Structure 1
């Protein structure tokens, strides 16, 4: 059974390029820091206005401050799974259109801009290239790149909001307010400081509520980023450009092989 499991894992890793995708994801994570500034200017004000309402609602604290272990993890994973599934289904039609080129000049322009070696291969001067037909594995790999890009950006936005709510909650939610919002047990205080006669506490309950709201914010951002056309145009989507260049190169290679 162990050997079968290892073979399955090895097949998935090699067939779908998991290692290159992870390496790309790490590079993209660093490169996305600049895009987060754009996302922050466009989406965070509305997100803060929307999510802050839930942060200052007693029902949110009653629900998530006492939710522990597997149930808490499943609640967060549910939002992650639904968000990724929605982004996956929304971006699937986009992947199909990336393999369509109006003319060979269009293909040449894409390759020249990318500095691809495929630009040196012979191409017809007129006519329209055939629509690139991707195999199931190729479509999945392309979707993984596109969805991974949105997921990384949503994760960074969620992290920013999570830190904000941790700091905000540390400043405004003291033990008395926490006890009124989430009665039933003593707050688990990690540490506290006294400022102007007010005791500020950093609690486990605050971490749980902030974690949920950060996950929800990432979910909301992920959905919003693929459904609002003006917002998508404002973000730098390097993955779409990279996929377009890869498909242009494949069109040329297939033409050269058939010719």
Structure 2
């Protein structure tokens, strides 16, 4: 039995990793908890900010148009270092890779979900796209303000998801009990152990529950990103076909339209069209997120595709924590 349990534990932990659930394995969760202590988080953030500021200031002093390049370098360094910390030490890269694989592996199932929201969404944003006031606001923004607006929409969308997604996780936790536990373990490394030991799913540890919320968040975020990119392409094509430069000049009250920096001579896209397309596609992503978390039919269809994975995670975790720990420490 000790060898059987040791092998099962190893296979279950590999299964957790393959399914974007690194926090379900005890050692990974303990490591993450240590890194998320207040002192370590503060030290890491201070170090990241210091390196980013130093890099930005250094670039600003070395190149022409140094201020813009300095800001870009500082932001890029901050995001890169923060992403490296979250991706490697906090293992969020494992969750994101699973979400990407699952999303692109089930595009056929995603399209019917998106088509529920697309008709009303296209009607609303297309009306905004041919509105002069929207062009005056979006096309005349500085590029920094434009990206700040996109980031603001993304933060609001994430906040909506983080309010609703924990409810779905708790719902699955309540449903996986009794005889269903062994059924949910079918096809997993815990299937045999589930029939031989008594396991009841206790409340998930906080990091395991956070893990499930994060994989759901990444899955939904990838859907929103794909939708936003599709709408961006739609606006660019629609704008080039239907809105002449004279109309853009009249709407924006400028003397002329401007080429898109660096790409304007090779791509037939004006800077004004690019900015309006970015602004409205990001706004549409926020609209879709709010619709997704509030429309009961969409939510049920979206989570129907993920419910099997969530139920398996809860059931396999119940078996994992029920295995005799004193017999597996030497694995």
TM-score > 0.5 by shorter chain: yes
Write out per-residue CA displacement over residues 77-126 of structure 1, whole angstroms, 9 at most, x where no aligned residue. 111100011111111121122222464211112112xx012111144899
Change (3 A) 1:136 1:8: farther
**1:63 equivalent in structure 2:** 137
Residues 1:10 and 1:90: Cα distance change in structure 2 (over 3 Å): same
1 CA distance for matches of 2:44 and 2:294?
Answer: 43
**Does the 8 Å CA contact 2:176/2:311 hold for their aligned counterparts?**
no
Q: Which residue of 2 aligns with 1:136?
A: 206
Q: How many pairs were matched up?
A: 248
Distance 1:254 1:233, change over 3 A: same
5+ residue gaps, structure 2: 1-42, 49-80, 327-331
The 5 Å alignment of 1:48-197 reads: 48-101=122-175, 103-112=177-186, 115-123=187-195, 130-189=200-259, 190=264
CA 1:4–1:103 in 2, change beyond 3 Å: closer, same or farther? same
Residue in 2 that maps onto 1:197: none
The structure with the largest helix share of the pair is 2
Deviation sequence 1:151-204 (CA, Å, 0-9, x none) = 1111111111111111100111111110111113421143699xxxxxxx6311
Q: 1:211 aligns with which of 274, 278, 298?
A: 278
Say if 1:29 and 1:152, in contact at 8 Å, map to a contact too: yes
Structure-1 separation of matches of 2:84 and 2:130: 47
> Contact between 2:139 and 2:272, CA under 8 Å: does it hold in 1?
yes
Contact kept in structure 1, 2:135 and 2:276, CA below 8 Å: yes
Structure 1 equivalent of residue 293 of structure 2 = 226
| Preserved contact between residue 65 and residue 206 of structure 1 (Cα < 8 Å) | yes
Structure 2 counterpart SS, 1:43:
helix
Pair 1:27 & 2:94 matched: no
Higher-strand-fraction structure: 1
For 1:9 and 1:65, the matched residues in 2 are separated by 30
Classify the secondary structure of the residue corresponding to 1:188.
coil
The residue matched to 2:185 in structure 1 has which SS?
A: helix
**Would the alpha carbon gap of residues 125 and 229 (structure 1) be closer, same or farther in structure 2, given more than 3 Å must change?**
farther
Whole-angstrom CA distance in 2 between matches of 1:185 and 1:24: 49
In structure 1, list runs of 5 or more residues that go unmatched.
194-200
Offset of residue 31 of structure 1: 2.2
